[in-house]
């Protein structure tokens, strides 16, 4: 089992999608969390809507501050943003460099969501949980 931390600046878009998709696909095989260096007030509504299309509920997401405890907990740190994203030490550090969904129309957020879903699938395969639980094979 690995602890995977998804980070971005506001923890209201990219990292939320990545963490929620990851969690939906791996169940309890791996643990996940998300955080941001400057957390926003809530997940972007369009992000919540895009995840809902996959049957993933993110309405309860509360952006969290990236802190030392989160970093210490993580085995894998996945930065989901560009060069403005915080770099944190971890046993493994990955940067996906995804565009910020803030202010984008749903169609564009779907494209980002789908790119995240593909990268999450690759990460799951690398971590050794290549088969998602039944019913979550999207």
CA–CA gap between residue 82 and residue 99 (Å, rounded): 7
pLDDT digits (tens, 9 = 90+) for 33-74: 999 999 999 999 999 999 999 999 999 999 999 998 999 999
CA–CA gap between residue 117 and residue 111 (Å, rounded): 10
What token pair was written down for 58?
Answer: 């993110």
Show me where the domains of the chain are located: 3-127
Q: What stretches of the chain show up as alpha helix (H) in DSSP?
A: 14-26, 45-52, 68-73, 106-127
> For residue 32, what is the enclosing H or E element?
strand 31-36
pLDDT digits (tens, 9 = 90+) for 12-34: 999 999 999 999 999 888 999 99
Is 3.40.50.2300 the CATH number for 3-127? yes
Query: What are the φ/ψ torsions at residue 79 (nearest 5 degrees)?
Result: -85, 130
What's the pTM value of the predicted model, to 2 decimals?
A: 0.88
């Amino acid at each position: 089992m690995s602890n995977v931390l998804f980070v971005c600046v506001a923890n209201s878009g990219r990292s939320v999608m990545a963490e929620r998709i990851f969690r939906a696909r791996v169940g309890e095989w791996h643990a996940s969390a998300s955080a941001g260096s400057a957390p926003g007030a809530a997940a972007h509504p369009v992000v919540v809507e895009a995840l809902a299309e996959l049957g993933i509920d993110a309405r309860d997401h509360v952006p969290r501050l990236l802190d030392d405890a989160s970093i210490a907990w993580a085995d894998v740190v996945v930065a989901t943003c560009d060069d403005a994203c915080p770099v944190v030490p971890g046993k493994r550090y990955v940067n996906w460099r995804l565009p910020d969904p803030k202010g984008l129309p749903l169609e564009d957020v779907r494209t980002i969501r789908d790119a995240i879903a593909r990268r999450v699938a690759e990460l799951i395969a690398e971590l050794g949980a290549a088969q998602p639980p039944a019913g979550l094979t999207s």
